[in-house]
Amino acid sequence: MGGTAFARSREFRLAVFQCDVTPEIGGPLFNGVMARSIIGPLLANGVVLIEEKPIAVIVSVDWCEIRNGAYDHWRTELGRAAGVSRERVLLSCVHQHDAPYVDTDALQTPFHQHTVANVAAALKNSLAKTRRITHVGTGQGKVESVASNRRYLTADGKVSYGRTSATRDAFVRNQPEGLIDPFLKTISFWDDDTAVAALSCYSTHPMSYYGKGDVSSDFVGMARTQRQKETPAVAQIYFSGASGDTMAGRYNDGDPANRASLASRMHQGMLDAWRDTKRHPLGKIGFRSVPLRLEPRKTKGFSAADFRAVLARPDAPFRERNEASLGLNWLARIKQPIDVPAIDLGPAQIILLPAESFVQYQLWAQQKRPDQMVMTLGFGECAPGYIPTAKDAADGYDDHYSWIAFPECEAPIRKAIDAALTK
């Protein structure tokens, strides 16, 4: 790891915080599942970037999704604790499925309220013990045999998006990986030659076996925990990238034994990114936020009247009622733009995209700034659901878990990415 001495004209500091966000047994998780066991704790891990006063907060939460009013609530409370406006809080979910899923426009619970208050308190307390940071590190490592794309060709040559995180059909599982970003990226913060924190990010749905209510941070959390044990003085923070269409389905059939194997491969990618790290003098921390507006989905079943009709049916399955409620909440808030924030660290930029943005958006973000490392965090404001590209829409992508108009969504998202990453 290389570094260069330089004359310091500006001083930057970093606060690191962590808080337990594990639900109680019996608490609600994604898709109506209730927590039946706690395999491992869930965490909120974050940093506050400071120059004289706080500039921005970056936080990763081991939850499935934070949506609509809940997303605003988290950012408002964490921003208040840090002394910044809420658009300066880059809040990202890891998105493993056996984890809380919150939309307070549909339901507010004491657990959620207490959790947000606890995370905000942890953040505020961290401001009393900041560390000087003089350098930023950048490194990446190729992750082998973890990510693959949902998209594959069926036996008769048709496009399907049916490959899932745990794919039991051997034919589907063994189709080519498809479009992925093979590299895990790590951006680290240093006080001269002493590492303080490492932010790692990779594009994949982070699930191996799931859906029964056994709470954990799954294989990505296992890899993060191992790195934390190896580097106890360095805060290890993991983010899922733009992962709407990437998952481990080519390498995972749902056998619980695969979790440890996937974790080992993720850990190796983190190690390789760390070994690849080059240190650069930190001369600036810039911030930019761009408003993004997405149009509502106009296909059959996605109007306010359609959603209300579902909710009026007492026999409607949970999934249909839940998604109708989420759709109504989104329609009520759609005129409020989604923030697309970016932090410029000189040799690196960090950008946060909403919901389940497809991996192509991450690759486009990197192409926008080939002179810098671009780390794309996914699962910000999760209300839009899946965010495909125009090509995917043309190829027949039509998942129910998406409340936005596509292919129309591509142009405004690419415009927001370009604007956020402009120097």
Residue 94 exposure: Cα atoms within 13 Å on the Cβ side: 29
**Dist. CA 196–CA 184, nearest whole Å:** 19
Residue 210 to residue 218: CA distance in whole angstroms: 9
- H/E stretch holding 272 reads helix 258-275
Give CA–CA dist 245/349, Å, rounded.
23
Token look-up 């979910």 returns 93
Q: What is the pLDDT of residue 108?
A: 75
| Of 342, 387, 391, the residue nearest 368 (C-alpha) | 342
**Mean pLDDT score across all residues of the chain:** 96
Residues of the chain with pLDDT under 70: 1-9
Q: Could you report the per-residue pLDDT of 54-108, keeping only the tens digit for each?
A: 999 999 999 999 999 999 999 999 999 999 999 999 999 999 999 999 998 877 7
Beta strands 37-38; 214-215: pairing state? parallel
| Nearest Cα to Cα of residue 357 among 327, 402, 319, 394 | 402
- The pTM assigned to this predicted structure is 0.96
Question: Cα(105)–Cα(88) distance, rounded to whole angstroms?
Answer: 22
Distance CA 330, CA 105 (A): 9
Tell me the pLDDT tens digit for each residue of 233-288: 999 999 999 999 999 999 999 999 999 999 999 999 999 999 999 999 999 999 99
d(CA 71, CA 1): 37
pLDDT of 6 reads 39
**At 103, which amino acid appears?**
D
Full 3-state SS string of 119-187:
HHHHHHHHCCCCEEECEEEEEEEECCCCCEECCEECCCCCEECCCCCCCCCHHHHCCCCCCCCCEEEEE
Contact yes or no for 265/146 (Cβ under 8 A): yes
Q: Residues for the chain: how many in total?
A: 423
Partners of 310 in beta bridges: none
User: Quick one: DSSP state of residue 336?
Assistant: S
187: which strand partners? Answer: 138, 199
How many whole angstroms separate alpha carbon 284 and alpha carbon 122?
26
For the chain, give me the number of helices (H) and strands (E)? Answer: 10, 24
Q: 57, 88 in Cβ contact below 8 A?
A: yes
How crowded is the C-beta side of 407, counted as CA atoms within 13 Å?
9
pLDDT score, position 4? 38
| Rounded to 5°, angle at Cα 177 from 162 and 42 | 75
CA gyration radius, the chain? 20
By the 10 Å C-beta count (0-12 exposed, 13-18 middle, 19+ buried), 311 is classed as: middle
Q: How far apart are CA 406 and CA 393, in angstroms?
A: 6
pLDDT of residue 3: 42
Is 109 exposed, middle or buried, given 0-12, 13-18 or 19+ CB atoms closer than 10 A? middle
The number of beta carbons lying within 10 Å of the beta carbon of residue 213 is 19
